[in-house]
Amino acid sequence: MKALVVGGGIGGLVAALEFHRAGIEVDLFESARELKPLGVGINVQPHSVRCLDEIGVMDAMLDLGVATTGQAFFNNRGQHIWIEPRGLAAGAKWPQISIHRGEMQIALMEIARQRLGAGHVHMGHHLASFENAPGEGVIARFVDRATGKDLGEARGDLMIGADGIHSRVREAFYPDEGPAKWNGALIYRAATETPPFLGGLSQFMVGGRQTVIGYPMSKRYGDRGRSLTNWAARFFVDPARGFPREDWNRPGNLDDFLPRYADWVFDWMNFPDLFRGADAIFEFPMVDRDPLPRWTHGRVTLLGDAAHPMYPLGSNGASQAILDARELTRLLKSAPDIDAALRAYDEDRRPKTAEIVRQNRAGGPERIVTLVEARAPAGFSNIEDVMPRDEILGVMNSYKTITNFDLARATV
Ligand SMILES: Cc1cc2nc3c(=O)[nH]c(=O)nc-3n(C[C@H](O)[C@H](O)[C@H](O)COP(=O)(O)OP(=O)(O)OC[C@H]3O[C@@H](n4cnc5c(N)ncnc54)[C@H](O)[C@@H]3O)c2cc1C
């Protein structure tokens, strides 16, 4: 069996490594000629770290990132609402890892080159078109995006479209889908070197409608007593003003959001200083896409952001891509044939990830902060009077169930 994986993001790379480990021949095609450390921080949840452990890359990731132990929630006055244990501290068998996305991608690519062999990792190969050729599998054609040069075709028994939010593969099956859906929120993302905060290993989420999330994401910085703090500031604007197409690398301007946070100066974090300290700020609209009626078409299926782009605030984008890769591999090994495996993958992963897309639209875990701010706009003296512990636990646990946290406790 030979698989073609289109896209060398975290989803495509983990799929390629999973396939290789399962004895499935694999060729990976990445549009970029060379990877640069693009993006800022992401979180890999314990259930997905479990997959990284199974394919023998977890330690390499822990050498780069931080094993996060908690997520603390605050209202927009900096008052502490709740701390949620994370990863090992929450009883999972694997840690949660906060990590620089680009560093993770580059490290996985290096491991893929070593394991698959350099001849099976095709950089500068942009998928231009493909076809399901009955009886022959899939034929994919590639170009060099920079020059337009035709790079010929590749054939496989199946093809995985792991080509991100602007997926060419998805577009081929859903040509009328149109642009991603924007909910009117903008996210400004960056990393700033700071002193350690909240004990050094904790994420924070401050504010409900107007929010900042952040976390340390670098072991290197931690080892010298500092924190490379990933942060994302999110707020809503009038959606009627429109927004240019989402681009993970679009530069953002400090002046476009700093005034909104001018009084966010708390004893544990000075947010205006945090924002001013960043070397480069990126602007991204909060977009997703409606869940699809089908991912698998013939011998071609979708994975990761190509299949289920979701709001990037629930810490789930990379994690769910990794779970897709694990489940697809498991089915390719256990189902009677490739067609049955691709169908079963679609039937299993599509509804699960659709539910996360919907849940993130409804608010995700930050809902507790939104509720607290609505009930006590002037702040509180005792959180129990505003939102009792059981209610907080109810919101947190329902999100954890939907996002498959229980997988991180499993032993098989
Ligand atoms: C540059 C970049 C920066 C990001 N930064 C952040 C961030 O700061 N925070 C966050 O939460 N999420 C970020 N993300 C998204 C996050 O990485 C994903 O949500 C998650 O990791 C799932 O990844 P994926 O592999 O499905 O898709 P992606 O990470 O988007 O990877 C898709 C890959 O496919 C390649 N590709 C696209 N089209 C083609 C084609 N036609 N042929 C071949 N290859 C193709 C792309 O170059 C890319 O490497 C970023 C994504 C990108 C691409």
Q: What is the pLDDT of residues 36-71, one digit of tens each?
A: 888 799 999 999 999 999 999 999 999 999 999 999
| Ligand 1 binding pocket mutation candidate from 17, 31, 231, 288 (most atoms within 8 A of CB) | 31
CATH architecture under which domain 2-37+102-178+292-362 falls: 3-Layer(bba) Sandwich (3.50)
Q: How many other C-beta atoms are found inside a 10 Å radius of the C-beta of residue 49?
A: 27
Residues 150 and 239: their CA atoms lie apart, in Å, by: 40
**Residue identifier of the C-alpha nearest atom 5 of ligand 1:** 39
> Looking at this protein, which amino acid is placed at residue 409?
R
Nearest 10 degrees: Cα torsion 216, 268, 259, 255:
-30
pLDDT at 167 over 70: yes
Cα 296 to ligand 1 centroid, rounded to whole Å: 20
Residue 136 vs residue 233, higher pLDDT: 233
Question: Cβ distance 133 to 153 under 8 Å?
Answer: no
**Which position has the token pair 């977009």?**
287
Residue 8 near ligand 1, beta carbon < 6 Å: yes
pLDDT digits (tens, 9 = 90+) for 275-309: 999 999 999 998 999 999 999 999 999 999 999 99
Give the model's pLDDT for residue 411.
41
What proportions of the chain, in percent to the nearest 5, are helix, strand and coil?
40, 25, 35
The phi, psi pair for 209, rounded to 5°, reads: -70, -45
Residue 246: the pLDDT is: 75
| The pLDDT of residue 409 | 54
Q: What is the pLDDT of residue 135?
A: 86
C-beta of 264 in contact with ligand 1 (< 6 A)? no
Quote the CA–CA distance of 360 and 319 in Å, as a whole number. Answer: 14
Ligand 1 binding pocket includes 170 (Cβ within 6 Å): no
Confidence of residue 360 (pLDDT cuts 50, 70, 90): confident
> Hey, what are 95's tokens?
């840690």
Decide if pLDDT at 402 tops 90: no
**11 in ligand 1 pocket by Cβ < 6 Å?**
yes
| Eight-class DSSP state of 180 | P
- Structure tokens of 145? 């995006």
Whether 310 is in the pocket of ligand 1, judged by its Cβ within 6 Å, is no
**Residue 124 Cβ contacting ligand 1 at under 6 Å:** no
Choosing from 27, 29, 42 the residue with most ligand 1 atoms within 8 A of its CB, the one to mutate for a pocket test is 42
Q: Give the model's confidence band at 359: pLDDT under 50 very low, under 70 low, under 90 confident, else very high.
A: confident
Q: Residue 224 C-alpha to ligand 1 middle, in angstroms?
A: 30
Is 98:286 a contact under the CB 8 Å cutoff? Answer: no
Instruction: Tell me the per-residue pLDDT of 208-217, one tens digit each, with 9 for 90 and over.
Output: 889 999 999 9
Average pLDDT over residues 115-130: 97
Nearest atom, ligand 1, residue 165 CA: 30
What's the average model confidence in pLDDT over 84-106?
94
Q: Which residue type does 170 have?
A: R
Average pLDDT, the chain: 93
Atom of ligand 1 lying closest to residue 35 CA? 49
The pLDDT, as a whole number, for residue 412 is 34
| Rounded to 5°, angle at Cα 396 from 326 and 231 | 75
Q: What percent of the chain has pLDDT over 70?
A: 96
Q: Which of 211, 271, 260 is nearest to 74 (CA)?
A: 211
Distance 163 CA to ligand 1 centre (A): 7
Examine the pLDDT at 344 and tell me if it is beyond 70. yes
Each residue's pLDDT tens digit, 228-280: 999 999 999 987 877 767 788 889 999 999 999 999 999 999 999 999 999 99
Compute the distance between CA of residue 272 and CA of residue 251 in angstroms, rounded to an integer: 18
pLDDT-derived band at 121 (thresholds 50, 70, 90) equals very high
pTM: 0.94
Is the pLDDT at 406 greater than 60? The verdict is no
Closest CA to 13 of 331, 304, 345: 304
pLDDT at res. 389: 92
108 CA distance to ligand 1 centroid (A)? 13
148: left (phi over 0), alpha (psi -120 to 50) or beta: left
CA 374 to ligand 1 center in whole angstroms: 35
Per-residue pLDDT band for 403 (boundaries 50, 70, 90) equals low
In the chain, pLDDT over 90 holds for what percent of residues? 81
With cut-offs at 50, 70 and 90, classify the pLDDT of residue 363.
confident
Environment class of 99 (CB within 10 Å of its CB; exposed 0-12, middle 13-18, buried 19+): buried
Q: How far apart are the first and last CA of the chain?
A: 25
In the sheet where 202-206 sits, what is the strand order? Answer: 80-85, 70-74, 202-206, 211-216, 227-236, 181-194, 282-288
Angle formed at CA 177 by CA 344 and CA 331, multiple of 5 degrees: 15
**Considering only CA atoms, which residue is closest to atom 48 of ligand 1?**
9
Look at residue 83 and tell me whether its pLDDT is greater than 50: yes
Q: What is the pLDDT of residues 315-335, one digit of tens each?
A: 789 999 999 999 999 999 999
Return the ligand 1 atom nearest residue 189 CA.
Answer: 8
Looking at the predicted structure, is the pLDDT value of residue 185 above 60?
A: yes
Closest to 108 (Cα-Cα) out of 174, 20, 189, 190: 20
pLDDT of 181 strictly over 80? yes
